[in-house]
Copies of this chain bind each other. A is one copy, B any other.
Amino acid sequence: MDTEAREAAGAGDEWADVAPDAARRLVRAAVEAFAERGYHATTTRDIAGRAGMSPAALYIHYRTKEELLYRISGIGHEKALAIMGEAAAADGSAAERLAAAVRTFVRWHAEHHTTARVIQYELQALGPEHYAEITALRRRTDRLLRQIIQDGADSGEFRADDVPGTTLAALSLCVDVARWFTADGRRTPDEVGVLYAGLVLRMVGAGAE
């Protein structure tokens, strides 16, 4: 699916907040290039070319290739944190909040699998300060999910023997959707989300089955 088809399908434009238009085109081009060839094999010239711009035009918006990766990673991680925050803050039982968190988190990783792959696999390419900033966002996301699972364990709704370990596994399961998901596969992003919400509820020992 091209970008327009995806937007029509409801996935939304993940880069809608990047302005001006030229900066947004560069972000899209960088994600594609990093996904295809890897961060280190991609030059700013490649990215500018894909965006139909000159290297000089790229430098108006981003001083370095790393700055582009940082922008992409920041937007992706902020979105992941927002999804988790919304689920954590919602009304309802721990099971309801956990199911909503997994479902929306998985859906995002399936719909934006190219971006999610770049973000996950190129984390080490960030400069030290940017890396520290991004890992702080990741820790906040982790903590939100852990708190939902801890809430369920404390109230007796869940029987999770190892809350940090179960949280780690649940997040890993969701994130890895970006690796294997393809738009032409058998399941839609939402179908994977529903399946995974059910499996994670089982992992935490929710309810009597």
- Please name all residues of chain B whose beta carbon is closer than 8 Å to the beta carbon of A41 when the two chains form the complex: 37-41
A187 adjacent to B165 (CB under 8 Å): yes
CB distance from A32 to the nearest CB of B (A): 13
Interface residues, chain A, CB within 8 Å of chain B?
Answer: 37-41, 120-121, 159, 161-162, 165-166, 168-169, 172-173, 175-177, 179-180, 187, 195-196, 198-199, 202-203, 205, 209
> What are 7 A-to-B residue pairs whose CB atoms are below 8 Å?
A37-B40, A159-B209, A161-B198, A169-B195, A173-B173, A199-B203, A202-B203
Q: How far is the CA of A145 from the CA of B89 in the complex (A)?
A: 37
Contact pick for A199, options B159, B166, B180, B209, CB 8 Å: B166
Besides A121-B121, A165-B187, 15 new A-B residue pairs in contact (Cβ under 8 A), listed by A number: A37-B38, A37-B41, A38-B40, A38-B41, A40-B41, A41-B41, A159-B209, A162-B195, A168-B180, A169-B173, A172-B177, A175-B176, A175-B179, A199-B203, A205-B209
The interface centre, meaning the residue of A38, A161, A175 with most chain B CB atoms within 10 A of its CB, is: A38
Q: Which residue of B lies closest to A120 (CB)?
A: B179
Contact status of A196 and B169, CB under 8 A, knowing A38-B38, A41-B40: yes
| 8 smallest beta-carbon distances between A and B, as pairs | A38-B38, A40-B41, A176-B176, A41-B41, A37-B40, A172-B176, A165-B195, A199-B203
Q: How far is the CA of A196 from the CA of B187 in the complex (A)?
A: 25
